[in-house]
Amino acid sequence: MNSAPISVCMFSNLYPPIVSGSSIQSSSLARELAQRKCEMVVITAKVVGDSKEYEKVDGVHVYRLPAIRLPKMSISLNFPWLTYTFTPRNLRRIRAIMDRHNPDVLHVHNHMFDLALSAVLMHRRTKRPLVITIHTVIKHARGLYNLLLYPADRVFLKRFVIDQADAVICPDCNAKDYVRNAFGRPDGALVPYGISLPEAPTDMVLDGLRAKHGLDGKRVILSLGHVHALRNRKDLIQALPDVLGVFPETVLLIVGTVADDSPAALARNLGVRESVIFAGHVPHSEVPAFLALADLEAHWLNQDAARNTSLGIASLEAMGAGKVVLSAANENGFGPGVLKNGENIVLVEPGNPGQLAQTVIGLLGDGAGCRVIGGRARQTIQEHFSWDSVCSRTLAVYREVLREGACR
């Protein structure tokens, strides 16, 4: 069993062409496992109208189910890709796919979407082991919504999804704490996200982006990720007036779908609206070009207390591109010694835009120091987040649940 190829059926409501952290991660993991001789099948929602219902991409069988596109809602942070797929017809489609490919393991990405329920049903009917990767901690910026979300997560999803899993994969220690505290499972397996080092973009692509966004002669603070109530870039925008006082040519370039108008309103109130660029949604393939133009990459910084905040995929990709990343994150989020403040990342205090401004000013004025930190950041990604390591650890989880199943 340890050397035989494994057949895996992944379930994820979010998958390319949708651009999100979990979409990129699940598709990349499927591709990398396929390259390692696993048969990979993905069942996802057909969100974009012209997406094919079936295609084979990078050796991965991708099936897209007819889905009802749900409206944006405040309780779901105006997330633009909510779908409903849990219908009798789709369950029959899923069963037919399962019969066609006969997977050894079922693997769910994102426990809160309805394909997780479909996977649980297939797990019960086929007796195949079920693995779940936790990508998102369920929490809202507004406490009133948490009165609804917490019971839905910690009671309904715990009972009908998490408790049904043979194994739970956590990309960092914060997710492990969440799985233990919210669901009573101390057995979460730590498997970090895999990061592919970016290829250098062409000069033509870079020149096109500079012209499109007016970046010639600018110092660029890049902030990757969708904009919503939990990721509103408030600290960054409040820090910008002080930064502009020293480096007036600085711009904050935010790349991601905008689902919250408050950042633009804050920038207008502070008189820095012309220095904040909302690039909107871009294909993931364009991210390396934006990173190449950046002096720094900084995330939203004010999501939660730092000890509860994880370093997301976008930040890891920026580190892989050799950029200095500023974040208010847990230094031990991937275990002791992986992240080292001031060496391969720069950690700041959330809710303290004055301190953030001075940190940014110091970095923008120290190009040599930024190159050293960026070089160490890239080396960290190579050492701890390589696909060889991530695939090996993922396969170890698969083999363990198969071994346990064979022993029952």
Q: Identify the residue with better confidence: 228 or 279.
A: 279
Q: Mean pLDDT across the stretch 130-140?
A: 92
328-353 pLDDT, tens digit each: 988 999 989 999 999 999 999 988 99
What's the confidence (pLDDT) of residue 11?
98
What's the confidence (pLDDT) of residue 1?
41
352-391 pLDDT, tens digit each: 999 999 999 999 999 999 999 999 999 999 999 999 999 9
176-223 pLDDT, tens digit each: 999 999 999 999 999 999 998 888 899 999 999 999 999 999 999 999
Cα dist from 202 to 182, 218, 251, 403, whole Å: 46, 19, 22, 48
114-125 pLDDT, tens digit each: 999 999 999 999
Where residue 322 falls among pLDDT bands split at 50, 70, 90?
very high
Structure tokens, 351:
């809710």
**Is 3.40.50.2000 the CATH number for 203-384?**
yes
57-84 pLDDT, tens digit each: 999 999 999 999 888 888 776 777 789 9
Residues 7-194+386-407, CATH architecture = 3-Layer(aba) Sandwich (3.40)
What's the confidence (pLDDT) of residue 165?
98
- Res. 408: pLDDT tops 90: no
Q: Mean pLDDT across the stretch 281-289?
A: 90
CATH 3.40.50.2000 domain locations along the chain: 7-194+386-407, 203-384
18-33 pLDDT, tens digit each: 888 889 899 999 999 9
Q: What type of residue is 32?
A: E
**In 3D, which of 216, 192, 222 has the Cα closest to residue 295?**
222
Contact assessment for residue 97 and residue 71, using Cβ atoms and an 8 Å cutoff:
no
- Res. 2: pLDDT tops 60: no
Cis peptide before 263 (omega within 30 of 0): no
Structure tokens, 67:
């889905």
Average predicted confidence (pLDDT) for the chain:
93
What's the confidence (pLDDT) of residue 3?
65
- Res. 270: pLDDT tops 80: yes
